[in-house]
Structure 1
């Protein structure tokens, strides 16, 4: 849970404090269940239900597709994106993208995680004639991209299950991951290596590698990605590029803390 940001108020309002605690908890978990909230707050389930109902009414949370849990609502994600824009993370990180583009001579992206979706918010295309096209402004299923898998690797196994309650997953290409168990294996590899890869899983003819920013030290879950035509890369190249990505992420994180 996030640390306290200021001194304790002289006249605290418990219901407001509990509602804010729920939102902070949602920042750490992809979904919340009524019993989880009641246990965390130390209140009766009826009290937790009233708090969740008010947050739901204001659009800060919404019920998941299965209806048994709550996830971030449009009001909450809207606030998050507004804060992100004011923080202007793209301007802060764009020079690092330029450096990656210059060093690797390949297309590079900055992506953020929104639920099970990756949104590409900045990109620079490779200077080479044959190159991967920019995905700036596009959204893709997180499990089909190296960018998404790198960020999903920062979730706990329980949170990953809550984010993907079903075993079957929809894909974009014949190589896309289509089972949650397979995604779990990929995510575990990404945790161990410190980077994630994708081979023609989001687009045929494209391979990529990505390194995520430390989630607890950034305003949102983010990752740098390098995308390369399959015809001119191999595992050794991806490892080398991932090392460059990791070093760049480490340096850039210091500006976001």
Structure 2
């Protein structure tokens, strides 16, 4: 059965037709749950060979499967993986929100919740400091994991071989003059982060910004995300760092207590 019609958002200024067709086809599969080659051809307004190639690629990447009897296409296992990832992110945000609020109140600084997507931190939620001089929200944005405390904390939750596969070239982009740009140096920093149980960032992603971060790692579900407290360098001190790390550890433990 077809799902409800969606209102079309404004198109981007420079659309990519091939990407648009693929995403439109994924939406069609999600809405109808089963499509034929002819359905796809009409839906996308393309020829049969183009529709067939698009479906073949989705089958190859496991976003679609084809019934050998009816020849119809249905959503594949990769669809379920995306759904589980989205549900996990929503569960994490919902569970973490009150903890994030308490953490922000305790530290008086900007606190972030994020998830690791390959080599990027995707910021899921934030509570900004009430101070006039504060670190701004990054919610909805991404930053390179190797330059942020929250990203390094999550990378440190992975083994060294896994981290190496994420950076096959061995060179890391520099965000500031303080950013680690060599994989070996990053691996050494991750070893230090594992040893002390948290990661640091002092002006590595933005000048004048310091932060500390911890991973949220579930014993059964693995790495779920990370937390960080960010402060302007003018307010940073070794004593402040210790206080923020203690607060982060309590917050991460409380979030994990709320996740089955």
Normalising by structure 1, we get a TM-score of 0.69
Whose radius of gyration is greater, 1 or 2? 2
Cα distance, 1:215 vs. partner? 4.3
**Alignment equivalent of 1:79, drawn from 83, 90, 95:** 83
Structure 1 residue aligned with 2:227: 224
Cα distance, 1:217 vs. partner? 4.2
In 2, Cα distance between equivalents of 1:74 and 1:133 = 35
Structure 2 residue aligned with 1:145: 148
How far does the alpha carbon of each residue in 1:205-255 deviate from its partner, in whole angstroms, 9 at most, with x for none?
A: 100001111244457531111000001112231122111100111122011
Structure 1 residue aligned with 2:183: 180
**Alignment equivalent of 2:61, drawn from 57, 61, 85:** 57
In 2, Cα distance between equivalents of 1:58 and 1:242 = 42
The answer as to 2:157 corresponding to 1:158 is: no
Cα distance, 1:54 vs. partner? 8.8
Structure 2 residue aligned with 1:190: 193
Structure 2 residue aligned with 1:90: 93
Task: Determine helix, strand or coil for the equivalent of 2:134.
Answer: coil
Structure 2 residue aligned with 1:203: 206
Cα distance, 1:172 vs. partner? 1.3
In 1, Cα distance between equivalents of 2:59 and 2:242 = 44
Q: Give the aligned CA root-mean-square deviation in angstroms.
A: 2.3
Normalising by structure 2, we get a TM-score of 0.68
The answer as to 2:173 corresponding to 1:170 is: yes
Q: For the Cα contact (< 8 Å) 1:154–1:215, is it kept in 2?
A: no
Give structure 2 stretches of 5+ with no counterpart. Answer: 1-56, 65-76
Q: For the Cα contact (< 8 Å) 2:157–2:223, is it kept in 1?
A: no
Task: Determine helix, strand or coil for the equivalent of 2:258.
Answer: helix
Cα distance, 1:56 vs. partner? 4.3
Indicate how the Cα distance of structure 1 residues 218 and 224 shifts in structure 2: closer, same or farther if over 3 A, else same: farther
Structure 2 residue aligned with 1:103: 106
Task: Determine helix, strand or coil for the equivalent of 1:88.
Answer: helix
Give structure 1 stretches of 5+ with no counterpart. Answer: 1-52, 61-72
